[in-house]
Amino acid sequence: MKITLVRHGESAANVAGIINDDPARVVPLTAVGRGQALALGDKLRGAPFVQAYASQFARAHQTAVMILGDRCLYLEIEPRLNERKSGMDGRPVEDFNALVRPDPVNIKPPAGESFLEQMERLRACLDDMAAQHGDAEVLAISHENPILAACALAGMPAEDAACASIPNCGCVVIEWAGGGRIVEFPR
């Protein structure tokens, strides 16, 4: 399977530097984020996707709908694509970064998950998608941390992936069949 993983467009939480890891708390895209999603939709218009997925978060779903536009493509909500669980919803992103900075791969916030645990969640998700879609191409709208976890599964050293960044509406393309390799990473 070839999967294009897209980070959602800019959200109000991105602008404020606030964590949103609770899908029940709706944080919408900004005007800039909506523009990013529409522009990416134009860029991906000819891609032969057979299925689209989005996390449970409003910003991911909103991005997916804008990217898909008038395509007749089923959009499935996939909770395993959700943002990394930090247990720090509503707090500054810098609080989370300061907590995990000493060991970004293994440190687990008290009410959250470690980067390694997130990787295993993504492994199961990618394996299930590959079993369902074979050699087809799929689109998945998610968040920076889960996409970086997928990159670690696809060969990027976990320490590098845990500290990397992906811009809003940035795309990572991975070929996955029980393991993976990164085909495209934003520069």
- Chain segment 73-125, per-residue pLDDT in tens: 889 999 999 999 999 999 999 999 999 999 999 999 999 999 999 999 999 99
pLDDT at 72: 81
- CB neighbour class for 138 (10 Å; exposed up to 12, middle 13-18, buried from 19): buried
State the Cα–Cα distance between residues 20 and 17, nearest whole angstrom.
10
Confidence class for position 126, pLDDT limits 50, 70, 90: very high
Count other Cβ atoms within 10 Å, centred on residue 9: 28
User: Percent of the chain beyond pLDDT 70?
Assistant: 100
Count other Cβ atoms within 10 Å, centred on residue 98: 10
User: Look-up: residue for tokens 């599964």?
Assistant: 153
Sign of CA dihedral 141, 144, 150, 155: positive
Please answer whether residues 140 and 78 qualify as being in contact, where contact means their C-beta atoms are separated by less than 8 angstroms: yes
Sign of CA dihedral 28, 31, 35, 36: negative
The amino acid sitting at 68 is L
pLDDT at 187: 72
pLDDT at 178: 81
Average pLDDT, the chain: 96
In the numeric block, which tokens belong to residue 60? 């991911």
> Model confidence over 149-176: pLDDT tens digits?
999 999 999 999 999 999 999 999 999 9
User: Residue ranges of the alpha helices (H) in 17-171?
Assistant: 31-43, 58-68, 93-100, 115-133, 144-153, 158-163
pLDDT at 11: 98
> Model confidence over 37-58: pLDDT tens digits?
999 999 999 999 999 999 999 9
In the numeric block, which tokens belong to residue 8? 């959602």
pLDDT at 45: 93
Ordered domains of the chain (ranges, CATH) = 2-184 (3.40.50.1240)
User: Percent of the chain beyond pLDDT 90?
Assistant: 95
User: pTM (2 decimals)?
Assistant: 0.96
Q: Which residues contact 161 (CB under 8 A, 6 or more apart)?
A: 115, 148, 149, 151, 152
